[in-house]
Structure formats: C-alpha cells, structure tokens
Amino acid sequence: MSYEKEESIAIQACLQAAKLTERVRSKIPKAIEKIDNSPVTLADFGSQALICYHIHSAFPDDPIVAEENPKELLKPERAGDLKQIVDYVKEDNKDVDEKKLIEWIGYGNGRVSERFWTLDPIDGTKGFIRQDQYAIALALIVDGDVKVGVMACPAYGNDGGLLFYAVRGKGSYTQSITSYDTTIPTRIHIVANNDQNTFRFTESVESCHGDQTKQNEIAKRIGIQTPPIRMDSQVKYGLVANGEAVLYFRFPNPHRQDYRENIWDHAAGTIIVEEAGGKVTDMDGKPLNFRDNEKMLHNRGVIVSNGIIHDQVLEVLKS
C-alpha cells in the first residue's frame, strides 16, 4: 500500500492540532492533575479531539489508541475546563459542542489491533507548560509495523516549528509548520560522522524518565565527551533524524525497573528515525513491540541512534 491518504490526513490533523496547542500555549496553560499525578492541559484534550475527529472521519474502522481519557472532563469540577476546550476547538470546527468534544476525545480509547493509530496529543506536557519543547505525535501501525508517522514540533527551531513525517519505504521529511502550504518538503538523511569530538547524545529533562547516570556512563564509554542535550518529548527523535545528536537513550529508572514504555511515546519517532537511516531498538537489541499492547511489555528501555554506532552501544551495554 502507498498510504498516501493516511499520510495526508495525518499531516493535516497534526497541523491543525499544532495551531490549537500554540493558541493555548500563548496564554498560561492551566494544568489538570490526572489520577496518576501526571499533568494534562486543555491543549492535550483539544489536540486529541481534533486529531481523533479527522482520523475517525476518514478511517472509521481504524481504532485509535491515544493517551487521554474524556472521563477526566466529566467530573463536575471540570465543567469550566470542558467549556473552555470547546471554545478552543470551535476556532477550527464550528460544529463542535460539549457532547461532540467528549465523543471525539473518546475515539482515542480504542484497542491495539491488526491496524490501528496511536496518538500522543501533547508529548512532553511539562515542556509545553514550561514554554519549551513538545511534540504532537501520531502513527499508523499495521501488523505491528509503523507505516506512517507524523510529529509536529511547534517549538523546534526558530521558524515557527518543524513538522517531521515518514511513510515506510519512502523516507523521512521535514517542513515548516507555519509555512507548510508554501514550502517544499526536505528529505532528511542521517549523514555519517566519524568525528567523535562533535558527537552529542540526548535524553529527557526529567531524571525520573530514565537512568541518567547509566546513560552518561555509556556515552562516555563510546567516546562522547560533550554534555547531553536534555529536552522533553519525541523531539529527541527529531534531533537524531536531523543529525543534531547521534544517540537518544531512555533506560529504565533504577527505582522503577518494572516500568514499560507507552507505544504513543515512541511509534511516530521510530519510523522517522528509521526512514532517515537510523536505528531504534530496546537495550537488548530487540525491535520495539507495537503489536501486542499499549505498553511495550516485552521491551526494556529504548536506544535510538544514527545507525552507525548502534552495535557499539549494544556491545558496551552487554559488558
């Protein structure tokens, strides 16, 4: 399959969501604390509503596995938040009301299947709140393989943000978010770089999201002497795909060894890096499993590389 329609719908949905999230981000975003104590903003729900609406309208038989649950907005104390999200979404879709908004967000509560979409409406919510990096990440998965990936990164660079997208077998591309309709896409290739003095690696800002001590030790053992680039969200995949970093580590936190990654935190970034010539595996060298569950239960940690030094990293880990 060419997946041309899927790619086009996914790109337009993410671009529209990016406009909404930036409208919210221009104000001080109000964070809602979820049951698991992680933050969620009005923009998370608005982004999920818009994207799920577009995907469901074009592909009504495709389940969508997304991060947010509309039940958060059905609590009596959230009535004001619900109305405010409707007002944001109305700027892009005049027909929305509170009932439709809840329905659209709920489209994202599908299950992993033979063919499905996975969505993180705002990956890196803490970065979003800090006015820093975040990504809107959407991917189509068929038989466990990511076929289409789109990442809108509105805070990336100095020109209104960057859109990354890829289709399996057709390469990875970038375009400006703000001038998407008037610019030509740029195909990205990871260029071989043998100068270890310029090697950089990237990791999460949040120390609880990984094992920064171990990640820094592995980086030093393979010759990386420069400090890591720390940022939120799957934008880190974009750094590797763009050649700004040679590695992205996400090792299990030593205090949370039983933690497993969510598929929506890695699916879109994975295909973008792989189609640019890089490599993505877990710490044991296994491909990331997007087939069985919304959690990657059979993977331990994540290693994203330019492809050239991947085997070296795995060998150092074994030792």
Between 34 and 204, name the one with better pLDDT: 204
Q: Is 61 annotated as a binding residue?
A: no
Among candidate residues 41, 44, 202, 281, the one labeled active-site is 44
Q: Is 292 annotated as a binding residue?
A: no
Q: Judge whether 202 counts as a catalytic residue.
A: no
pLDDT tens for each residue of 110-169: 999 999 999 999 999 999 998 899 999 999 999 999 999 999 999 998 778 999 999 999
Query: Which residue's structure tokens are 């939120």?
Result: 232
pTM recorded for the entire structure? 0.94
- What is the pLDDT at residue 114? 98
pLDDT tens for each residue of 229-242: 999 999 999 999 99
Domains of the chain are 4-188 (3.30.540.10), 196-318 (3.40.190.80)
Taking residues 183-194, what's their average pLDDT? 86
Q: Is 67 annotated as a binding residue?
A: yes
The string of DSSP letters for 235-284 reads HHHHHHHTTS-SEEEEPPPTT-TT---BGGGTHHHHHHHHHTT-EEE-TT
Q: Judge whether 284 counts as a catalytic residue.
A: no
Taking residues 1-28, what's their average pLDDT? 93
Among candidate residues 41, 125, 202, 281, the one labeled active-site is 125
The amino acid at 159? D
